[in-house]
Amino acid sequence: MVRNETLDRICTAAIIFGFLNFMAFWLIAVTIGGDAINGQMTDGRFYLYNHGVLTEVSEPVFRYSYAHAISVWVTLPVSVLAGLIQRWGRRV
């Protein structure tokens, strides 16, 4: 099998983007007090959750945190798959 340079570049970009997206999520979650996936909405108030501590935030921050967490669920598996594709391509 001939190694496809375009596929290799796409895979490398996916790996880098997945890693950077995860790191951004982690750094932002630490900074704002947790994440919305584990947080809660109660009586019109929005809380992020981090290791047993709830932090009240505005609705836009809560929604951002939720969307960013979902994006990590997408980009992380894609980056792992891209790494596997690269590895399999180099074995030949």
Q: In the structure, what pLDDT confidence band is assigned to residue 1 with cuts at 50, 70 and 90?
A: very low
Model confidence, pTM: 0.85
Mind listing the pLDDT tens digit for each residue in 31-48?
A: 999 999 999 999 999 999
Contact 85, 8 (CB under 8 A): no
The Cα 47–Cα 59 span in angstroms is 9
DSSP bridge partners of 46: 41, 57
Whether 15 and 83 have beta carbons less than 8 Å apart is answered as: yes
pLDDT at 3 > cutoff 70: no
Query: What is the rounded CA–CA span in Å between residue 31 and residue 14?
Result: 25
